[in-house]
Each structure stands twice: as C-alpha cells, then as structure tokens.
Amino acid sequence: DTSLSVTEVAHASGFKSLRRFHESLRARYGRTPAALRGAGSPETSGAFTLRLDHRPPLDWDALLTFLRGRAIPGVERVTHDTWSRVIALHGHVGAVHVTPDPARPTLRARCAASLLPVLSSLVPRLRAVFDLDARPEDIARVLSADPALAPSVRARPGLRVPGGVSAFDLAVRTVLGQQVSVAAASTLCARVCDRFGLALPEAIREDGLWRRAPTPEALRDAALDDLAACGLPRSRAGTLRDLGACFA
C-alpha cells in the first residue's frame, strides 16, 4: 500500500532506526523495502499480520478472561485463545484477531487489509488493549517488597491491566459500568450498540463480527429518550450524550 511511507512502516513495526529496518528486511527476504512493495501487497490475501512484542511473562489467560466477560456481541469475540474486534480508525474499518505466539514473547494480530492505511495508529491501540508496554519484572520487584502483596505476585506472574482500543471506548464502558455488575454493564453496552452502532457492509463481515461500536457523533446526536430506552437512568443517558459531544 503506497499510502504508507517506508519510514511509517518501520516505526509501526517497532523499529527505532530506519537503517536497522532495511538491514532486517534484506537479511530475512534478500530484498529492499521498495522491491518487497512491488512484489505484492496484503490486499492479495485480504489480511496482514502484525507482530506485537512484549516483555515476558504475560498472563494471556487472565487477559482473555477479563475481556471475554466484557465482549460486546457483534463488535468483539473472544474464544479460548483469540481476541477479535471490529476497529474503526479515521474512516477505515476492519476486523482484528489477536493470538499469542507459542514460540516467542509475541502476540500476532491478523488484520483486515482495509486497516493498512492506519497501521501507525492501530499498533499503539492494540498494545494498549493488552498492556504490552508494561515492565513485569519491575512491577514484580516493587510489589514483592510488600509482604501482603508478595504471595499474590508469586502466584500470578505476568498480570496486566487491560485497556481499550480508544479513550472514547473506555469512557463509554466506564459510564455504562457504574454501580452495576459486569454482566449488567455488558448487557447495556450491547443495547447501546444495537441502537446506535453501525452495521458493517456484507463484504467485510465475519462470523460473529458484523458491526462497529457507536461513534462519538452518534451518541452526541442521540435523543435522551432513546438512550434511556436502553435501560439507563436519564442522568446517565445525559452523561453519555455529553461524552459523545466532548469527543466529537
């Protein structure tokens, strides 16, 4: 995709040095970036894969358990080893599927080719979902100094703080999750998405992934009665509308 420069691809792939990026490509593929670009693109297969490195350990099962309980039907799907989500960025929409690499401390993110033009924005958002920039050794060292916390740190190495694909996504979930259980909050999220989310075109739908979450503009312009009909107190419905206006 010629919409991204070689420098943008290098930085989105985690390289701090363009020279190292060139050297790595030559060592792996025996070609320059320009030659590889001319040889074909991810559109051929309909997807591309990102490598999201992290510092071990990573408690992947704990992350999936947390995210599974909060998955929004149609927008997200969590299986025994994979997190999937419809992501919309700067007018580009597509599905992302993230799984662990059993051979190295890396997550593999298979992304719809439609997201390639927003690669540089996509990578940090995915890293935030799984807290991949955390330093588990430093965290464990500090928390283990507390006698009350040390046993838990030893018992559950690699715990992370799950994030979201955007600040708006996290803020909406926070408002909907006030003073209710996780199950109730997930139900409210699903209702809001039912009424204010956007269905994906048939061509890019996947099994269990067929809509995107509401945009800030959709919540800003929502009628208070329509928001309240999702099961929200009017005060909270007003908060959601104000939140949409702030982000829009």
- Tokens at 212, concatenated: 């995107």
CB atoms within 10 A of CB 8: 13
For helices 234-247 and 167-176, what crossing angle results, to 10°? Answer: 170
pLDDT digits (tens, 9 = 90+) for 98-157: 999 999 999 999 999 999 999 999 999 999 999 999 999 999 999 999 999 999 999 999
- Asked if pLDDT for residue 43 goes beyond 50, the answer is no
**Cβ neighbours, 10 Å, residue 226:** 13
- Give dist(CA 95, CA 99) in Å, integer: 13
- pLDDT value for 38: 61
* Average pLDDT taken over every residue of the chain: 91
Left, alpha or beta for 99 (phi > 0: left; psi -120 to 50: alpha)? beta
Write down the pLDDT at residue 41. Answer: 45
Which is more confident, 20 or 192?
Answer: 192
pLDDT in tens, 198-226: 999 998 899 899 999 999 999 999 999 99
pLDDT per position as a tens digit, 76-92: 999 999 999 999 999 99
The residues, any chain, with a CB within 8 Å of residue 177's CB and separated by 6 or more, are 185
Q: Token digits for 91?
A: 């007018």
